[in-house]
Structure 1
Amino acid sequence: MRQFIRGLQPASGVGAGRDLRADAFRGIALWFILIDHMPGNRLGGLTLRNIALCDATEGFVLLAGYAAGIAYGATLDRRSWSFAAASLLRRVGTLYVAHIFLFVVFTAQVGYSAAALESSAYLDELHLDVFGEQPYLALLQALLLRFQPAFLDILPMYIVLLLLLVPALPLLRRPALLMALSGIAYVAVRLFDLNLPNWTGGGWFFNPLAWQVLFFTGAALGYAPPRPGAGRSVVPVVPFHPGLVAASVVTLALSAAVLLVGDYREHWLAELPLPLAELLTTIDKTGLHPFRLLSILALAYLLGHAVPRHAPWLRGRLAAPFVLMGQHGLPVFCAGIFLAFLGRLALEMDDRWLMQAAVNMAGLAALVSIGVVAGWYRLREKGEARYPAAAAADRLQPAAASSTTAT
C-alpha cells in the first residue's frame, strides 16, 4: 500500500508534492461522512460532530479548497489562467457526471428498498417522495441541480464552488483581496438570506454562496507562490502564535460546551438570556453559521501545527488507507453514499454490537479497497502514458538534431 502512495508523490523538491496531511484528514472526513449517514450507528457518537460545532463536511470543504489552491494555483503559474480554468471546468464536468450517476443509483436503491419493504418512510425521509409522484420532472430538475435529495447535496455545492474558483484564480496571488471579497459576500449572504433556488422549496441545504468562504480560505492557504529561479515555494502556513493557540482552544472548548448544553442540559437554556438562548439554538448548517466556521478553522489551525507536513507517520501503514481514500475522494465519496444506505438497512434488522462492528468494518474496508484500486489504476495510466511519450521523443530526436545541424 505504501508503494501506491510513493507512486502518487512527485519525485523530489521541498515545495513539491502533495500534502499528505490534507489527504489523510480528507480520508478521515470521508470515513466520518459514511458513519454519520447511518442512523443508529453507535460509532457515530465518536465523530467530529459530537465534539465541535462542525462536522466532516466542513473539514471536507476546507481540505478541498486547500487541494484546489495547490493544484490549480500551480497550473495557473506554470501555464496560464485559461489553461487552469479549462482544467477546473473539466473537473466540474467529471463531478457533474458523477453526481448524476450517483443520483440514479441512489434513487434506484432507495426506491427498491421502499417497495420491497412496502414502506414509504425512506422516500419521505430522504426527500425522494416527489420523484415517485413526478419522476420525469424530478429527473429534469436533478439534471439542473435544483432537486437534491438528502445525502446528494454535497457534490452540487462542490460543483458551484469550483465554478466560483474559475474567475477567482488570479486572486490567489492576492490572498488578502480574495478573502476580503469572500468575507463580504459571506456576510451579505447571511444578512439578506441569499441562496440558490431548490425545486422542492427553500434553497440549497448547503448554500454554496455562504460555504465559499471556507473553500476560498482553504484555497488561499494551499496556494504556494513561485520563487524566481527557485521553483515553487513551500505552502505558507498561518504563523504559530501562543495567542492564536489559546483562542483556538477556547473556541473548541466553547463549542463542546454548547453541544453539551444542547444535548444533555436543555433546561439550562431556559435560564439563559433570551438572545443568547436563541443564538445557541439557531446554529445553522445551511448558511455555515459563524460558530461552525470558527470551529473548523480553530481545529485546522491546531492540527496544522501539531502535525508537521513531513511527519513520518503520514507515510506509515496506519495512515496509508486514509491517505489513499483522500487522494481518490470522488469515487470514495460516491461509494460511501451507496454503502451508508446498505449499512442503515443492516442496522435496522439487527443493531447489536456484532452487527455494528461488522457494518463499520465492512464499510471502512470497502472505502479503502476503492482507494487502492483507484491508486493502482492511476499508476497504470501514468506508466502507459510515459512510455509512448518517451518513444515519440526518441523518434523526433534525430529529426530535430539534423535540422539544427543544417542551420
Structure 2
Amino acid sequence: MRSLIRLDRDLRVDVVRGFALWAIFVNHTPGNVMGLLTPRNYTLSDATEAFVLLAGYAAGLSYGRVMDRQGWFFAASRVMGRVFTLYVAHIFLFVVFTAQVGLSAAGIDSAVYIDELHLDPFASDPYRALFEALLLRYQPSFLNILPLYIVVLAMFAAVMPLIRRPWLMLGLSTAVWLAARVFDITLPSWRGEDWFFNPLAWQLLFFIGCALGYSPPGGAPISVPWRPWAGALCVLLLIAGAAMTVLIFFKWDFAEARLPAFAPFLAAIDKASLHPLRLLTMLALTYLIAHGVRRDAGWLRRGPALVFALLGQQALPVFCAGIALSFLGRVALELAEGWWVQVAVNLLGAAALVGLAALTAWYGAEKRAPRQSGNKPLQAARAADNG
C-alpha cells in the first residue's frame, strides 16, 4: 500500500478527499446504512463541498507552479487537457450509467428508476437527449458533479494569472457568486431546469481552494493563523449546523409545526447555488482540520488513513467507479434484504474502489518511472492531471 502512495504530498488533503469519494459512493446508494456515518447527516455541507474545495487546492498547487515556471499559456493548455480528460470521463460514465439503469429497469421497475434518475428523455427523444448530454445541457441524477468540475476548471484556465493576486481573484469570485445567487443566474440547460450545481456559484469554493494551494515563487501560500476565538466560532457554527441538519432531514414536521418562523429559513438552505451556511460550514471544517491535524501526523501514514489517501490520489477513476457501483449496490439492496446484503454491498464496493485505485496508482508509477529525472514543471502538471 505504501509503495503505491505518493508520501511527499500533504496527506491530509488526500485522506479527506478519499473519505469524500467513499462518502459519495455510499450516499448515492439509497438504503445503505453506512450513509448514517457520512457528513451529510451532521453538517450542512457534505462530500461535494470537500471534493470541489480540494480540487481547487490541487489545481492551485500544481498548475500555479507550472505557470510560474513556463508561463500562463503552457499551464492553461495543461488545464484544458485535464478538462478534456474530465469530459471524456463524464461521457463514458454517462453511457455506462444509462445502460446500467436501462437494463436494470427492464427487469425490475422501469418507471421508478427512469423517472427518479431523470432518464425519461431517452424514452421519448433519445437522439436529442444524447446530443444535449454531449453539450452538458442534460444531466441525469448522479451525473452532475463532473460537469461542474469541467466548467470551473475551464474558468480557472482563463483567469489563472489572477492567482498571483489572490485577494483580487477571491473578490471577483465572490462577486460572481453573489450575482448568481441574488439574480438567479446559471448556465442554460436543455429543458429549462437549472443546473443541479450552479457553476457560477460553486466556483467560489473552487477558487478558495486555488488560493489556499498556490505558493508564489519565493513565498508561501495564503494562511489563516490559529486564533482560539475563531476556532470557537467554527465549533459553534458546526453545532448549530448539526442541529439544523437534524431538523431539515429528520425532524422536518417538528420544524414546521413548532418553529413556523424558522422553517422557511431552513428550507432556503439550498445546495444548487451554494448557500452561505453551506460555504461557511465547509470553511469552518477546513480551518479546524488544517490546524487540528498536523501535516506530519503519524496516523496519516498508517492503517485506514493510507487507504483513504490511496483513494484520494486517484480521484477521477475512483469517483467514476463509485457512481457506477452505487447503482449496482442499490439494485442489490432492493432485490434482497438482510444485514448480509448490506455487508456485501459495502465490502465489495469498497474493495472494488480500493482495487481500482491501487491498479491506477501502479500503472501511473510504472508510466512515470523512466521520467523521474525529466522536466520538473511537466512532472508537476502530470501530478495535477493524476490528482
Please indicate, yes or no, whether the TM-score normalized by the shorter chain is above 0.5. Answer: yes
CA deviations over 1:276-303 (Å, ceiling 9, x no partner): 3211112111011111111111111111
Equivalent position to 1:353, from 329, 335, 339: 339
3-state SS in 2 of match to 1:149? coil
Kept in 2: contact 1:73–1:224 (CA 8 A): yes
1:330-341 maps to which residues of 2 (within 5 A)?
330-341=316-327
3-state SS in 2 of match to 1:261? helix
Structure ID, larger Rg: 1
Report the Cα offset of residue 18 of structure 1. 2.3
Q: Which residue of structure 1 aligns with residue 3 of structure 2?
A: 3
Kept in 2: contact 1:321–1:371 (CA 8 A): no
Q: Which residue of structure 1 aligns with residue 168 of structure 2?
A: 177
Equivalent position to 1:240, from 216, 219, 226: 226
Q: Which amino acid aligns with 2:160?
A: L
3-state SS in 1 of match to 2:304? coil
1:287-366 maps to which residues of 2 (within 5 A)?
287-366=273-352
Query: Would the alpha carbon gap of residues 68 and 41 (structure 1) be closer, same or farther in structure 2, given more than 3 Å must change?
Result: same
For the residues of structure 1 that align with 2:233 and 2:62, how far apart are their CA atoms? 31
Q: Which residue of structure 2 aligns with residue 370 of structure 1?
A: 356
Equivalent position to 1:150, from 134, 141, 145: 141
Kept in 2: contact 1:2–1:317 (CA 8 A): no
Q: Which residue of structure 2 aligns with residue 117 of structure 1?
A: 108
Does the alignment pair 1:217 with 2:208? yes
TM-score, normalised via structure 2 length:
0.93
Q: Which residue of structure 2 aligns with residue 254 of structure 1?
A: 240
Q: Which residue of structure 2 aligns with residue 393 of structure 1?
A: none
For the residues of structure 1 that align with 2:355 and 2:323, how far apart are their CA atoms? 15
Report the Cα offset of residue 4 of structure 1. 1.4
Q: Which residue of structure 2 aligns with residue 137 of structure 1?
A: 128
Kept in 2: contact 1:40–1:351 (CA 8 A): no
CA deviations over 1:237-290 (Å, ceiling 9, x no partner): 31101121011111101101112223226324444363x321111211101111
For the residues of structure 2 that align with 1:205 and 1:118, how far apart are their CA atoms? 25
Gapped runs of 5+ residues in structure 2?
A: 376-387
Kept in 2: contact 1:261–1:269 (CA 8 A): no
Report the Cα offset of residue 121 of structure 1. 1.3
3-state SS in 2 of match to 1:345? helix
Q: Which amino acid aligns with 2:225?
A: P
Q: Which amino acid aligns with 1:96?
A: Y
Does the alignment pair 1:99 with 2:90? yes
Query: Would the alpha carbon gap of residues 187 and 386 (structure 1) be closer, same or farther in structure 2, given more than 3 Å must change?
Result: closer
Kept in 2: contact 1:85–1:166 (CA 8 A): yes
Query: Would the alpha carbon gap of residues 198 and 265 (structure 1) be closer, same or farther in structure 2, given more than 3 Å must change?
Result: closer
Does the alignment pair 1:266 with 2:257? no
In terms of mean alpha carbon deviation, does 264-273 or 20-29 score higher? 264-273
TM-score, normalised via structure 1 length:
0.89
Q: Which residue of structure 2 aligns with residue 162 of structure 1?
A: 153
Does the alignment pair 1:283 with 2:269? yes
Report the Cα offset of residue 224 of structure 1. 1.1
Q: Which residue of structure 2 aligns with residue 13 of structure 1?
A: none
Report the Cα offset of residue 381 of structure 1. 0.3
Does the alignment pair 1:37 with 2:28? yes
Q: Which residue of structure 2 aligns with residue 398 of structure 1?
A: none
Q: Which amino acid aligns with 1:251?
A: L
Q: Which residue of structure 1 aligns with residue 382 of structure 2?
A: none
In terms of mean alpha carbon deviation, does 66-75 or 112-121 score higher? 112-121
Give the alignment's Cα RMSD to 1 decimal. 1.6
Query: Would the alpha carbon gap of residues 173 and 268 (structure 1) be closer, same or farther in structure 2, given more than 3 Å must change?
Result: same
Kept in 1: contact 2:211–2:221 (CA 8 A): no
For the residues of structure 1 that align with 2:56 and 2:196, how far apart are their CA atoms? 19
3-state SS in 2 of match to 1:238? coil
In terms of mean alpha carbon deviation, does 98-107 or 314-323 score higher? 314-323
Report the Cα offset of residue 46 of structure 1. 1.2
Query: Would the alpha carbon gap of residues 101 and 240 (structure 1) be closer, same or farther in structure 2, given more than 3 Å must change?
Result: same
Kept in 2: contact 1:69–1:221 (CA 8 A): yes
Q: Which amino acid aligns with 1:103?
A: F
For the residues of structure 2 that align with 1:272 and 1:264, how far apart are their CA atoms? 11
Q: Which residue of structure 2 aligns with residue 89 of structure 1?
A: 80
Equivalent position to 1:127, from 107, 118, 125: 118
Which 4+ runs in 1 deviate beyond 6 A? none
In terms of mean alpha carbon deviation, does 110-119 or 355-364 score higher? 110-119
In terms of mean alpha carbon deviation, does 87-96 or 160-169 score higher? 160-169
